[in-house]
């Protein structure tokens, strides 16, 4: 209980000080803390633009169930919580949830999604890779011929679908090893990349929604 209280106190200080900047990340975390529900509510927490679940207009508070698919249109985004996991889905993106035989399967079908995960096995499926994780934060930009994968912190095992023998374990503390993962038709299969299209503010916001603080907080890393 003390750990939970101290985490919440840190999040309140971050929000009060404007540490997260002036954008939507700050506003969403402030609203959750003010309502007393940070870390307690699941479902869709915010919607911008056009967002659908299984082809129907989404609504704030709506739960995302196994078997469902979330789609965002142009200039749109959605923030949602599923259990102890939280997601920021950007525009023109498609994301789905399935239940595998031994782990939850999250389908990054196309587009950009930032995710933070609590404890427990998860399998992330993209068009070009399968990624196993246990309690991490990551950003994925998926397309039919490439997966950009940044393990923001934590441990993951990445298996290219076109070359399973190239399976690789990755451990990071703060965005150290982004990769592009090709589909076998590219000139590359796994290629180092740069950090792109996601920020530490967004990670703080997502972790705050599920009552946590990113492990990099307060350790003096460069800010993304």
| Domain boundaries along the sequence of the chain | 44-200
Residues 84-113, buried b or exposed e (16+ Cβ, 10 A)?
Answer: bbbbbbbbebbbbbeeeeeebbbbbbbbbb
The per-residue pLDDT for 154 is 95
Q: In terms of DSSP bridges, do strands 93-99 and 129-134 run parallel, antiparallel, or are they unpaired?
A: unpaired
CA atoms of 33 and 51, how far apart (whole Å): 24
The per-residue pLDDT for 146 is 96
Spatial CA neighbour of 224 closest among 189, 196, 191, 205: 196
The per-residue pLDDT for 40 is 57
Q: Token digits for 166?
A: 């190239």
CA atoms of 123 and 145, how far apart (whole Å): 19
Give the distance, in angstroms, between the CA of residue 122 and the centroid of all CA atoms in the same chain.
12
The per-residue pLDDT for 181 is 96
Report how far apart the first and last C-alpha atoms of the chain are (Å, whole number). 31
For tokens 């698919």, name the residue.
69
41 HSE (CA, 13 A, CB side): 18
**Tens digit of pLDDT at every position of the chain (224 positions):** 445 555 555 455 554 444 444 445 556 655 655 555 556 578 999 999 999 999 999 999 999 999 999 999 999 999 999 999 999 999 999 999 987 666 779 999 999 999 999 988 899 999 999 999 988 999 999 999 999 999 999 999 999 999 999 999 999 999 999 999 999 877 678 999 999 999 998 999 899 889 898 999 888 888 88
Exposed / middle / buried, residue 213 (Cβ in 10 Å: 0-12, 13-18, 19+)? middle
Q: In terms of DSSP bridges, do strands 104-116 and 51-53 run parallel, antiparallel, or are they unpaired?
A: unpaired
The per-residue pLDDT for 37 is 57
Q: Which fold has domain 44-200?
A: Jelly Rolls (2.60.120)
CA distances to 13, 73, 81 from 127, in Å: 40, 20, 23
For tokens 């011929």, name the residue.
145
């Amino acid at each position: 209980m003390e750990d939970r209280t101290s985490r919440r106190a840190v999040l309140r200080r971050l929000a009060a000080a404007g540490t997260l900047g002036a954008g939507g990340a700050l506003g969403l975390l402030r609203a959750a803390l003010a309502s007393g529900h940070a870390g307690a509510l699941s479902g869709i927490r915010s919607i911008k633009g056009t967002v659908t679940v299984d082809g129907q207009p989404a609504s704030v508070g709506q739960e995302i169930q196994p078997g469902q698919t979330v789609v965002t249109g142009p200039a749109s985004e959605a923030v949602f919580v599923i259990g102890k996991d939280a997601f920021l889905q950007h525009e023109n993106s498609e994301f789905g949830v399935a239940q595998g035989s031994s782990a939850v399967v999250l389908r990054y079908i196309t587009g950009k999604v930032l995710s933070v995960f609590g404890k427990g096995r998860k399998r992330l499926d993209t068009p070009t890779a399968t990624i196993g994780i246990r309690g991490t934060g990551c950003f994925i930009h998926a397309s039919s011929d490439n997966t950009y994968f940044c393990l923001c912190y934590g441990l993951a095992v990445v298996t290219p679908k076109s070359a399973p023998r190239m399976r690789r374990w990755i451990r990071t503390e703060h965005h150290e090893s982004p990769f592009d993962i090709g589909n076998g038709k590219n000139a590359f299969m796994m290629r180092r990349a740069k950090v792109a299209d996601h920020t530490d503010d967004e990670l703080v916001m997502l972790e705050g929604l599920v009552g946590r603080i990113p492990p990099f907080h307060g350790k003096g890393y460069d800010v993304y």
